[in-house]
Structure 1
Amino acid sequence: MIYLILGLALWVAAHLFKRVAPDLRTQMGNAGKALVAVGILAGLGLMILGYKQAEVVNLWYPPTWAVHVNNLLMLVAVFVYGMSATTGRLRGRMRHPQLTAVKIWAVAHLLVNGDLASVVLFGGMLIWAVLEVIVINRSQDWDRPEPGPAKKDIILVTITLVMFVVIAGIHMWLGVRPFPG
């Protein structure tokens, strides 16, 4: 569990570094960018290692219907994440689509995982995403981008469906069954 907690702490620190210490981050130039990238990757690696090694301590047993809610929320999370890259009509509808997607992802996974390591991982990521939005909103104004053509949103829906299938396939490859059967 210690690796999981250290990984989460490193992830949060690396992501918040440019928001909390912008002058220092600017002074560091490319070295600062590299440091943040290494911190994020190391944090991710520690979280994965810590999650895989954590002892299973069940706090609750999720109901079977939660899997269906999880899958629906995950489809929404993939779509919302994709909104950050769209140039269609949905562009600018949401200020923080990637962080909102992380929040949806975290809640979805908390619904279907009742063990302590999952609460630490997904709860920690949820807290980080909320904190990140607060810090960003306080530190900078937002210029809402102009919406683009609707056909770009159709592309977003198509990419969302493909990515959802890919993500589900990766889960099955890893031995996690995202669809009850």
Structure 2
Amino acid sequence: MTMLIFGVLLWSVVHLFPILLPTVRAGLVDRMGEGPYKGLFTLLIVLSLVLIVFGWRAAGEAGYIGDIYDEDWTRHLTHLLLLFSIILFGAAKAPSRIRRIIRNPMLTGMVLWSVGHLLVNNDQRSLVLFGGMLIWAVISILGSNRRDGVYVPPAVKSWGTEIRIVLISCVVYGVLIVAHPYFTGMEAMDLSAVWELF
């Protein structure tokens, strides 16, 4: 569990650093240079992801899995929240109508992703990972809004961007459902029941 906790903390601290301490970040970039700073940032993020993945698996093997609350009724809601979260991830950089409504689509998507996973994962390691990511995302939203000031929504043209985002997000969602057992060790959906519908 220690590895997982450290991974979540490292991810959060590295991402929150430029949001909560922009002047310190600017000074560090001046001393190191933009390239080395981005390289160090990327290295620390990769390290945090490695710690999270291996920490997640190690916590499961160590037996840190025990029901804390009943989650049977939440599965359908979770799948809906996760689909919305992927759509928001896709809308984060595009000049879409979604960004005219939601200032921080990627972080808002992370909130939905975290809440969705907490609804169906009621063990200690899930509370550490998804609860930690939820707290990080909320702090990041509040901190970036304060840092960036008044929000100016992007200009939008046709509905093509939104349609493309939704279609690509549905494909990505399907791929993640199939791949989920391979990188987490847990099925996201009973695919055998889905195949029976056809």
TM-score norm. by structure 1 comes to 0.92
Aligned-residue sequence identity (percent) comes to 33
Q: Which residue of 1 aligns with 2:11?
A: 11
Q: Which amino acid aligns with 1:60?
A: I
Change (3 A) 1:89 1:134: closer
Give the 3 Å change call, closer, same or farther, for CA 56–116 of structure 1 in structure 2. Answer: same
- CA-CA distance at 1:136 after TM superposition: 0.8
Q: Distance in 1 between matches of 2:175 and 2:81?
A: 16
Deviation at 1:61, TM superposition (A): 4.5
Task: List aligned pairs for 1:86-105, cutoff 5 A.
Answer: 86-105=94-113
Contact 1:110–1:122 (8 Å) recurs in 2: yes
Matched, 1:25 2:28: yes
**1:44 is aligned to 2:49:** yes
CA distance in 2, matches of 1:128, 1:136: 12
Long gaps (5+) in structure 1: none
- Taking structure 2 as the reference length, the TM-score comes to 0.84
Shift of 1:154: 1.0
Q: Does 1:177 align with 2:177?
A: no
Contact map agreement 1:57 1:117 (CA 8 A) in 2: yes
Aligned pair count reads 181
Q: 2:158 aligns with which of 130, 149, 156?
A: 149
Offset of residue 82 of structure 1: 1.3
**Is structure 2 residue 92 aligned with structure 1 residue 84?**
yes
Pick closer, same or farther for the CA change 1:173–1:65 going to 2, 3 Å: same
Of Structure 1 and Structure 2, which has the larger fraction of its residues in helix?
2
Say if 1:106 and 1:126, in contact at 8 Å, map to a contact too. Answer: yes
1:17–1:36: 8 Å Cα contact kept in structure 2? no
Give the partner amino acid of 2:188.
P
Judged with a 3 Å threshold, the aligned counterparts in structure 2 of structure 1 residues 26 and 144 are, in CA distance, closer, same or farther, namely farther
Could you say what the CA RMSD is over the residues aligned between the two structures, in angstroms? 1.7
Amino acid of the structure 2 residue aligned with 1:25? L
Structure 2: gaps (5+ residues): 194-198
AA at the equivalent of 1:42? L
Residue type of the partner of 1:23? A
